[in-house]
Amino acid sequence: MAQPAPDAGFDLAFPRALGSPVCSGRLRAVPEDFVVEELLPADFAFSGAGEHLCLEIRKRGENSRWVARRLAAATGVAEVDVGFCGLKDRHAVTTQWFSVPVRGDAVPELDGLDAEILSRQRHRAKLRRGMHAGNRFRIRLRTVGGDREAIAARLGQLAEGVPNYFGAQRFGIAGNNLIAAQGLMQQSRIRGGGRNGIYLSAARSWLFNLVLAARVRDGTWNWPLEGEIRPEGPLWGRGRSPATPAAAAVEAAALADWHAWCHGLEHAGLRQERRALVLVPEALSWRWQDADLVLDFCLGRGEFATALLAELGEFAAP
């Protein structure tokens, strides 16, 4: 699992809710072991006309931002004008939509990228972050060791829900985004946008994970506290927290040493939001292929497959 960030005290190994791992194996031995398909909302339809050319792109081992940058260069538009719904895993084979504000339907070249354009549509508006409904995953865990009955039992538990942690990829390699966030919090004035936006997002994700970890430890991560409709935690920012008194008390205790970060997020233009503490995968199924375990499931936007895998086993990755 993820290791603490060096020299920073950011321990990314958050407590598990379902007990010790029941298996081990290898994750992402090759990009094809981690396949992600972006899902647009059921009620979404491309308009068929408009100033934006939308491209469905399948990429292998490529960062979403790299693809956006290449599309911008190939079409002569600013990178900020290229739209996409969410960042996808780099060490994977992923399919997602991009929009480019260009006339005509000429498909831009993606030279130098391991990517291909699967389809195209025209649309009246730019694709924006969070517009997608979620993602469909197919994950192959290689050379899995462990008792198969115990593994099947744990997979049944996963289907009921796991802690909705932000995955380690949100925090950068070895937690470097958190180290950068710590530097931001020491500034008298914090500006969002650009790289700072990434660091601020990591900071509020870290605070959320601390609250969730506290509720995992006290056994209330999947059980509403008094007054809660469902278990939720804070995405910190400006504004009055809608947390119930019982939840607010837990959050205050969990974040007692992080007032500077809370203050910084409040003054960086972010607004107070809430996020579910429980992640429930949709259509979870699995099958064995010799010693490999193949998982299929869907997650909502902003949910991490690594949060699911962490409750199953310990998996070495390149």
Q: Which active-site residues does the annotation give?
A: 89
Residue with tokens 């321990």: 11
Token reading at 134 = 């979620």
CA 47 to CA 28: how far, in whole Å?
37
Residue 285 β-bridge partners: 296
Tokens of 61: 């081992």
Task: Report whether 153 contacts 146 (CB < 8 A).
Answer: no
**CB burial class (10 A; 0-12, 13-18, 19+) of residue 188?**
exposed
Residue 69 CB partners (closer than 8 Å, separation 6+): 79, 82
* Pairing of the two strands 52-60 and 282-289: unpaired
- How many distinct helices (H) and strands (E) make up the chain? 7, 14
